Amino acid sequence: MTNPIRNLQPKALWNNFADLNAIPRPSKKEEKVVAFLMAFAKSHHFEALIDPIGNVIMKKPATSGMENRKTVVLQSHIDMVCQKNNDTEFDFDTQGINMLIEGDWVTADGTTLGADNGLGVAAIMSVFASKDITHPALEALFTIDEETGMTGALGLQAGYLDAEILLNLDTEDDDEIAMGCAGGIDITATSTYEQQTVTATAAYKITVKGLRGGHSGMDIHKGYGNANKLMNRILFALKDEVLITQIDGGSLRNAIPRESSAVIICDEKDTVNKIFQGISNEIVNEYKSIEGNIEVIIDSVDMPQYSISREGQDNLIKTIYATHNGVYRMSPDIEELVETSNNLARVIVKDGAIKVLCLTRSATEVGKQDMSNQLKSTFELGGFKVKLDGAYPGWKPNPDSKILKVLQNIYFDIFKSEPKIIAYHAGLECGILGTNYPEMDMISFGPTIQRAHSPDERASISSTQKFWKYLLEILKNIPVKS
């Protein structure tokens, strides 16, 4: 039976997206989608190669009459964030995404959709495969591992691209044109604890779930609950009555944590349940207007063998409490732009080891350094070893960009309104790519995608049509070579 997604307009784009979403493509596991793109290039007789880091690059000559226009590189990343609901059975390494249509939205059945950045990839494929779209000489740059380190962009060497203009197709609101973005750095804190034999009379598993989650950059200012922070509040309230045996909270660094679980032991069951009910009701009431599906649950479980010590538990809980999460500073120069933030993404306590993962973002190198210094100090005061790695630069806004002016004028001519010119508090690859291609004029735009990096991710059908129309008009109006 034909997937109804394939009947949506523009058909070429949605069919390419459906083909792409049939290919598993987790970050750092892009081999299948790289092979898929190389087969696509071969079938259409494009010049194509895989660079040493694993990015795919294609080239297509200008259409008749466009030979004197500047060469353009269309760029998107081929990996996707792999998140699923707790009750969804799905293997991102072997299965394609099961897509659904809900009104004006395409979504997925209990998983992330991969519209970030699959719609950009599909759009590039559609332009390259077309025989009737007017365009200058084109290059396609499909980067790997954007979501977990941007290693594809970081590893791209000079000399592979000839273009003077780069169109990044990875923004998520169709009325916005991005001219800058935040940089980032991964912060990993580790510690050990001596396991002690359990002597308690009861064991419970506490679960926080049903949170919205979302993009740790684009959604960090929206006040969504962080499951790791909420779990720590619960454990803080219970710390004099219980001992922790295990914590498993969050998932990816670039996703706001939606779920966390902890196993605890105790002797005074009635006291523990009374305290738990009080703190859980407090949290649910606090977040009910923005987190309508939040659940805080306690269930009896089998008695574990070991726990953390009272002293180790106190140190852990206080360290997590002191760890900054959320907006750290708003930009003083760009209205409503988050300048610096941190996402407390992952907390794991098990078998004598503790690991905490954070992702810090900032529009400035100074802000990134300040936030990472604050977090490093917090963790080191708690006795943790701290590793800072995976750093990547931001993309400095260029209000004088020539291609920005072209996009502004085209947008107004088509849609009779002014686009929003913004800088993003998210990691786009433009800043990194600019280090080896400093003269390239870059801009970013895309269709409307909501709730990226969560199983509630959805892409607007009407917005994708608008984006496609806009992209084709831009390609017709690329400036002539200097």
pLDDT attached to residue 2:
60
As a whole number of angstroms, the distance between CA 416 and CA 73 comes to 27
Residues 155 and 211 in one domain: no
pLDDT attached to residue 1:
44
Domain that holds residue 45: 4-182+395-476
CATH number at residue 436: 3.40.630.10
The count of structural domains within the chain is 2
Write the DSSP assignment of 212-262 as a string of letters.
Answer: ---BTTTTTTS----HHHHHHHHHHHHTTTEEEEEEEEE--TTB----EEE
Is 482 a domain residue? no
pLDDT attached to residue 3:
83
Residues 9 and 44 in one domain: yes
As a whole number of angstroms, the distance between CA 141 and CA 59 comes to 9
Q: What is the mean pLDDT of residues 426-431?
A: 89
Element (H, E) at 359: strand 353-362
pLDDT tens readout for residues 7-51? 999 999 999 999 999 999 999 999 999 999 999 999 999 999 999
Last residue of a domain, one of 351, 370, 392: 392
Catalytic: 389?
Answer: no
User: pLDDT category, 200, cuts 50, 70, 90?
Assistant: very high
3 state SS of 294: coil
Q: What is the mean pLDDT of residues 194-214?
A: 96
Q: What is the mean pLDDT of residues 195-218?
A: 95
Residues 361 and 421 in one domain: no
pLDDT at residue 223 greater than cutoff 50: yes
Residues 314 and 332 in one domain: yes
Is 144 a domain residue? yes
Is 192 a domain residue? yes
pLDDT attached to residue 278:
98
Catalytic: 79?
Answer: yes
pLDDT at residue 347 greater than cutoff 70: yes
Of the candidates 139, 146, 164, 219, the residue annotated as catalytic is 146
Residues 85 and 41 in one domain: yes
Last residue of a domain, one of 392, 411, 446: 392
Residues 326 and 416 in one domain: no
Residues 117 and 178 in one domain: yes
Is 464 a domain residue? yes
pTM of the model: 0.82
